[in-house]
Structure 1
Amino acid sequence: MSQIVLLRALHWSSSIATALRRTTSVHRLHQYQNHYSYSTLSTSSNEILVRENNTIDTVDVRAPSFPESVKEGSIRLLKKVGDKVSADETIAEIETDKTALNINAPQAGTIEIFLVADGDNVTTNAHIAKLNTSNDVKPISENKKDSSIEKIDAEKVKHTLDESIDKVNIEQTKEKSSTSFISSKPSHILTSVTGSKLDTSAPQNLTTSTKQQVSEARSETRVKMSKMRIRIAERLKQAQNTCAMLTTFNEIDMSNIVEFRKKYADQFFKRHKIKLGFMSAFIKASACALVDNPIVNAIIDENEIVYRHYIDISVAVASSKGLVVPVLRNVEKMNYADIERAINEFGEKAKNNSLAIEDMDGGTFTISNGGVFGSLFGTPIINPPQSAILGMHGIFDRPVTSNGKVIALT
């Protein structure tokens, strides 16, 4: 605000100098210029200093630290300048090629200014916004609109200017009105605008054929792909180009697992406060199989085979922004309750878009459940640099033969 007041002072001081140059008294000129210096403005200097000192209450809002595997992300602003936010409230979101990162307000306050635009690419720890934690100071955008002090000072300076010009008997200034300081160009523009005539007549009624053509018109919508979807497509295509993939299909009898779940579901929930699903059985079975077959849990690094003596299983989860693959770590040490609890936590994070990049780093084996879409078979794509992936699909009742008899199995 102090800058706006000083600029107004410069404008009126220059106007004084223009009028006084028409006199022959150089002494009078300097006298009045000194009289209308910035120090004599009616605006309280203490008020300006208070506004300037209030910048001490401004807090910087930065982007979070990215892991080494992430270089940048696209930012989406969720708030506007002038919005009041509470501590830890999300004001923006950074979308990377793996997940979305929330930017939260470090303190309660008012958003003073955004230092980035919506859709910009930002890097780790980048400056995002400035948050004003003072209750008295308005956001920068509001300060620009606040012109009450500016108008008061301008009127007072103009009034003093008119009195001073009368005292020095400047004839040319007397003959001109106070509007002489206004350029004539705006009046020309106004004249041209006033003279123009707009066609305000009502539009003609559309014919029946025209309405039918409009209703039958086909349209298209283009939506920019997110970084996550672009990265998913790149990785899947990379896997197809670099991995010699082989898919085998097997049907299994789920009767025992279905019966096991029905029998112990209530006891399991009462004891662990969490539901028993089918996924935990497949994850536990996969961990046991990987322990017995360490080559499947290994990866190829150039000319070497790296055997990992731990089992981290990636579980593919669908979210609103694409497929995410959080990792259950050290599954060989987990029981059914641990697995179900971890799956539920990742599911909630995926729904809220709060999965951290660390939640999806690594993984030695992946399980993808296409059965939630009712699919019967599928060919899942390996998640590099992993060596294998298990695709699960729908559970259906079907007749099969056993010992020469046709029975119904799940």
Structure 2
Amino acid sequence: MSTEVKVPVLGESITEATLGEWLKQPGDPVKADEPIASLETDKVSIEVPSPVAGVMGAHGVNVGDTVSVGATIGSIEAGDGAAATPAPAATPAPAPADTAGQQAPASGDAPAALSPSVRRAVLETGVDPATIKGTGKDGRLTKDDVLSAKAAPTAKPPSDGGAAPAGRADAAPAAEPAVRREERVRMTRLRQTIAKRLKDAQDTAAILTTFNDVDMTAVIEARTKYKDLFEKKHGVRLGFMGFFVKAACMALKDVPSVNAAIEGDEIVYHDYADISVAVSAPGGLVVPVIRDADQLSVAGVEKTIGDFGKRAKDGTLKMDEMKGGTFTISNGGVFGSLLSTPIINMPQAAVLGLHRIEDRPVVRDGQIVVRPMMYLALSYDHRLIDGREAVTFLVALKNAIEDPTRILIDL
């Protein structure tokens, strides 16, 4: 008996996706609701669960093919997989090569149970997942586990002191000249969408960037003083983003145009703050939305961001979590960025870029002192936001960060 595997509903207005990878191969045993394939949409990766328990049948489509909602992409056959997966011979066949020309890891059916992001990391690094101890839930491998295993030093064979082995008159042969290689990799649907949206933003909006800097002394002191108590009470680490999101919400109330959008010949003002936060995912940056961030506490913001970051790495963010947003914050400082001019996340009117914290000399009360400083960058649509409003927003944000008590008393 055969059961068809169909493309599930992908979300409102999403009618098709690209098959990113098969997580199960023909003959592999499959449990009910176990992921068997990964689909790439314009925004996120979605796993396709098996409708029943059985054995993976033939693949109906290939990796990279575009599939529509409701289309049949494969089948699940009756059985437990025992007959379809016999024990390997004494000399197993070599594993297929991955896109980089390296041999893919051969570790039984272990890769089939990995999440899309982990499986991709395994293929890219060539690390055998069977040799790695997982640190995720129930001992599952994470992407960080794979990258850490790749970065771990490997033992080198002991030197023979330069002496040639017995029976050899010559020393070691000269090294062969380096071979120059190129690799062509098809852009993922997510990367194509990111490229299109960024270019559309530049073609549509009159983008201008205004800069300021902020003294992080007070926030760093508050974080150092309360981080242990904060984590004990709320179960999440106290970071800097919680402060910046709350400070931004206050500044957005002072300067409503920064929280607005242009629709046709109308300006739409929002009396709420849905803050989009850029987080890193295997296929590129994704921008989930903190709904009603102005109504959340710092702890609520930190919990939401932490959850987004984890699920972005696992590829389990939902489509609805990526929609909307009235203002975006992008923190390039976590990657070491000193200064940047971020691009607007259309149809929003502005985006705030955060950067690394760096000790710099500044003047305080006529004295040159060293302070932990961060550059702030506000890119905005000049069709809607004037320079005065952009500067006013940044100054309000700066004041709240340099005196966090303002966040507490909404000043």
Do residues 404 (structure 1) and 404 (structure 2) align? no
**Partner Cα distance (1:135, 1:226) in 2:** 34
What TM-score results when the alignment is normalised by the length of structure 1?
0.66
Residue type of the partner of 1:248? Answer: T
Residue type of the partner of 1:221? Answer: E
Matched residue, 2:177: 215
Do residues 275 (structure 1) and 237 (structure 2) align? yes
Matched residue, 2:386: none
1:275, CA displacement in angstroms?
0.7
**Partner Cα distance (2:307, 2:317) in 1:** 10
What TM-score results when the alignment is normalised by the length of structure 2?
0.66
Do residues 123 (structure 1) and 85 (structure 2) align? no
Q: Secondary structure at the match of 1:249?
A: strand
1:78, CA displacement in angstroms?
1.9
Do residues 89 (structure 1) and 51 (structure 2) align? no
1:67, CA displacement in angstroms?
2.2
**What are the equivalent positions in structure 2 for 1:2-401 lying under 5 Å apart?**
55=1, 58-75=2-19, 76-135=21-80, 215-401=177-363
1:135, CA displacement in angstroms?
4.7
With CA pairs under 8 Å and 6+ residues apart, which has the higher RCO, 1 or 2?
2
Residue type of the partner of 1:295? Answer: S
**Partner Cα distance (1:136, 1:372) in 2:** 46
**Partner Cα distance (1:136, 1:354) in 2:** 28
What root-mean-square deviation, in Å, do the aligned CA atoms of Structure 1 and Structure 2 show? 2.1
**Partner Cα distance (2:51, 2:332) in 1:** 40
Distance 1:251 1:86, change over 3 A: same
Residues 336-359 of structure 1, C-alpha deviations (whole Å, 9 max, x = no match): 111111111111111111112111
Distance 1:393 1:138, change over 3 A: same
Q: Secondary structure at the match of 2:309?
A: helix
1:128, CA displacement in angstroms?
2.1
8 Å CA contact retained: 2:29, 2:81: no
Distance 1:263 1:219, change over 3 A: same
1:96, CA displacement in angstroms?
1.4
Residues 104-129 of structure 1, C-alpha deviations (whole Å, 9 max, x = no match): 11332111232222221011122222
**Partner Cα distance (2:282, 2:340) in 1:** 22
Q: Alignment length, in residue pairs? A: 285
1:324, CA displacement in angstroms?
0.7
Residue type of the partner of 1:301? Answer: E
Residue type of the partner of 1:65? Answer: V
**Partner Cα distance (2:15, 2:81) in 1:** 39
Q: Secondary structure at the match of 1:295?
A: helix
8 Å CA contact retained: 1:367, 1:391: yes
Q: Secondary structure at the match of 2:210?
A: coil
**Partner Cα distance (2:253, 2:363) in 1:** 33
**Partner Cα distance (2:78, 2:252) in 1:** 54
8 Å CA contact retained: 1:312, 1:327: yes
1:406, CA displacement in angstroms?
1.1
Matched residue, 1:37: none
What fraction of aligned residue pairs are identical, expressed as a percent?
46
Residues 229-267 of structure 1, C-alpha deviations (whole Å, 9 max, x = no match): 111111111111111011011111111101110111111
**Partner Cα distance (1:85, 1:276) in 2:** 41
Q: Secondary structure at the match of 2:201?
A: helix
8 Å CA contact retained: 1:112, 1:138: no
The answer for unaligned runs of 5 or more in structure 2 is 87-173, 373-411
Matched residue, 2:146: none
* Bigger-Rg structure (1/2): 1
Residue type of the partner of 2:11? Answer: P
